[in-house]
A and B are shown apart, each in its own frame.
Chain A
Amino acid sequence: AQSVTQPDIHITVSEGASLELRCNYSYGATPYLFWYVQSPGQGLQLLLKYFSGDTLVQGIKGFEAEFKRSQSSFNLRKPSVHWSDAAEYFCAVGAWGTDKLIFGTGTRLQVFP
């Protein structure tokens, strides 16, 4: 069965520092992988997605993620965090042809000035 693990419940960084949010997935075949961001009181917004091809994916707001099949990981990174990046981040895995997403439990990012 598909599953997603986000090991870090809460991360705090200083503004301008680099960021890496971890995501590990379990899926028998090549997965579709997503990162969403949720600001307080808002719906989820897609940051980036990986289907195939280049394993380093660029997204919106300066985020990128790297798919590593050998580690079953899809970690999200940003070289320099802005205060506006404070939010909840969700990793999700999708199965080909099912149109169904399995979300992780999320990582809450706090940014200090």
Chain B
Amino acid sequence: EAGVVQSPRYKIIEKKQPVAFWCNPISGHNTLYWYLQNLGQGPELLIRYENEEAVDDSQLPKDRFSAERLKGVDSTLKIQPAELGDSAVYLCASSTGQGTANEQFFGPGTRLTVL
């Protein structure tokens, strides 16, 4: 069974440019998460989806970040415009939902470098 797929794996852009990350969760997983992982830190939740609905986006900087999960399957996270401080790894995870008891399966992440 395929795991969580993310693309691209690496992205280098100049500041003020837009960037988008894509995530395809494990088949059948209704819950999808986007995390931000800064260097030397643990992941921090940006947004959580239950099917198509964003049920927790309180940590998403909405002035420049946006996300969507059309049709409740794959998801896109966008930054526009990117800033130097956005350089980090963006992780996507999925689970079958139903609360914290379910394991979150993580993708390999997208490493973003903003110059």
| Cβ proximity bits A72-113 to B, threshold 8 Å, 1 near / 0 not | 000000000000000000101011111111011110000000
What residues of A have a CB within 8 angstroms of the CB of B97 in the complex? 99
Interface centre among B40, B44, B45, B99 (most CB of A within 10 A): B99
**Closest CB in chain B relative to A32 CB, distance in Å:** 5
Inter-chain contact count A-B, CB under 8 Å?
Answer: 62
Q: A96-B99, A105-B42 are in contact. Are A43 and B31 (CB under 8 A)?
A: no
What residues of B have a CB within 8 angstroms of the CB of A49 in the complex? 103
Chain A positions near chain B (C-beta within 8 angstroms): 4, 9, 32, 36, 41-46, 49, 51, 90, 92, 94-101, 103-106
Chain B positions near chain A (C-beta within 8 angstroms): 3-4, 31, 40-45, 48, 56, 91, 93, 95, 97, 99-109
What residues of A have a CB within 8 angstroms of the CB of B107 in the complex? 43
- Tell me what chain B mostly uses at the interface: helix, strand, loop, or mixed: loop
Cβ-defined contact, B103 with A103, below 8 A = no
Q: A100-B48, A103-B44 are in contact. Are A43 and B100 (CB under 8 A)?
A: no
Interface centre among B42, B43, B48, B93 (most CB of A within 10 A): B42
Cβ-defined contact, A101 with B108, below 8 A = no
What residues of A have a CB within 8 angstroms of the CB of B102 in the complex? 99
